Amino acid sequence: MALGTLVILGSGETAPNMVKVHRDALASLSPVNGVLLDTPFGFQENVPQLTEKILEYFSTSLQVSLSPASFRRVADSTDLDRARYVDAIAHANFVFAGPGSPSYAVAQWAPLQFGDVLHDVLRRDGVVTFASAAALTLGKFTAPIYEIYKVGADPHWVDGLDLLGRLGLSCVVIPHYDNAEGQNHDTRFCYLGERRLRVLEDMLDDDVATFGIDEHTAAIINFDARTMRVRGRGQAYWRVGGDTRVLGNEQEVSLDDLATSAPRPPAVATDTVVAADDDIDALAQQALQGGDIGVRAIAHLCRLAATGGTGYIDPTSLIDGILAARSTARELKQFQLADQLRDALVAGGVEIHDTPQGATWSLRA
């Protein structure tokens, strides 16, 4: 199976010289089925405005329409919320995440086994692009930048997604490597400065590297070819064991030349395989089974109800399956889940009519 491309941006996605990087990465996808992840900035009050800004950038600069995949706070989510979020990503071939807080993002993503979710996108020959704050989450550990730089917490690490570790690169990622906003104080290394970065590096095992990326610079990792190429205004850096290797602009390096561990096989939950999208009857039956596979099947059905699936499908079995799951949820007094299932159908153009004899439906004209 071909493996896709991971693009790591050392600063935000909207730098003018990054347009060609995005365009080249997207060129391999036809059509582009992309999602924007709002989780890294999900704690902010301006989530809608930030989402719109990023969507507009991709639409205007790249002529690509992304769909928002929203998951703001795991504590407020239901099993179905989590399953629908993962399902949206599992059926995308382009995933983008950018600004926000890296520590907040990994805290929300941790219960979802999110490193495996992203790895699966790459295994399906997709493209994952993480910029700025989101880029920090890709390594074995994540530096909580806000807590250290803004709040004054002692330097420390939190667990990262370790997506790079799944491909044999045991490292932490530090974007904004050449940041100079401080002017009269050191804000290099994503606002940590040299002193705090060294304190953090002393906490790492000897085989864990620091992978730094300058602003307005991209590291493009092709996992099928097992190469990394640096593009943009600056450079990238591989620091391990006290030595720093500078990766210059347009330089390409073999991943095996950098690798500090063997690639790990992806986790596959063989006992919870959900039926294919075109097998609506099987999905409906799985939805009624309950448990993890039932929730995942409902997530598939909700997506199909909202999008119509791939090509023409007869909606009867799909809608009947969701209504049956909704009826079961109401009998179990899981009213929030029942409302979510109804909302999914309404969003897909289905009118629901509750009667004493049960629910009926019709397609909105």
> How much is the pLDDT for 352?
86
Q: Per-residue confidence at 311, pLDDT binned at 50, 70, 90?
A: very low
* Lowest-pLDDT choice from 29-43, 119-133, 282-296, 319-333: 282-296
> How much is the pLDDT for 279?
63
Question: Which CATH superfamily hosts domain 5-258?
Answer: Class I glutamine amidotransferase (GATase) domain (3.40.50.880)
- Check: CB of residue 131 under 8 Å from CB of residue 97: yes
| DSSP SS3 for 247 | strand
> Has residue 141 got a pLDDT over 80?
yes
* pLDDT, mean of residues 57-75: 94
> Has residue 2 got a pLDDT over 60?
no
Between 359 and 16, name the one with better pLDDT: 359
Cα–Cα distances in angstroms (integers) from residue 279 to residues 92, 294, 315, 363, in the given order? 19, 15, 12, 21
Q: Tokens standing for 1?
A: 């199976």
> How much is the pLDDT for 345?
78
> How much is the pLDDT for 147?
97
- Mean pLDDT across the chain: 87
* pLDDT, mean of residues 133-141: 97
- Check: CB of residue 276 under 8 Å from CB of residue 309: no
> How much is the pLDDT for 126?
95
> Has residue 330 got a pLDDT over 70?
yes
> How much is the pLDDT for 3?
65
> Has residue 363 got a pLDDT over 90?
no
DSSP 8-state class, residue 93:
S
Scored b (16 or more CB within 10 A) or e, 250-273 reads eeebebeebbbeebeeeeeeeeee
Q: What are the boundaries of each domain within the chain? A: 5-258, 270-363
Q: Is the dihedral of CA 305, 310, 311, 316 positive or negative?
A: negative
Alpha-helix residue ranges (DSSP H) falling in the chain = 19-26, 47-62, 79-90, 102-109, 114-123, 132-135, 145, 193-202, 255-258, 280-287, 291-307, 315-331, 335-347
* pLDDT, mean of residues 95-108: 97
Residue written as token pair 């970065």 = 197
pTM above 0.85, yes or no: no
Q: Tokens standing for 23?
A: 């365009």
Q: In what order do the strands lie in the sheet with 34-37?
A: 66-69, 34-37, 94-97, 127-131, 5-9, 217-222, 227-232, 252-254
d(CA 138, CA 304): 30
Q: Which pLDDT tens digit goes with each residue over 262-304? A: 676 666 543 455 656 556 667 766 766 666 777 777 777 777 7
> How much is the pLDDT for 70?
95
Alpha carbon 11 to its chain centroid, in Å, reads: 17
d(CA 162, CA 285): 35
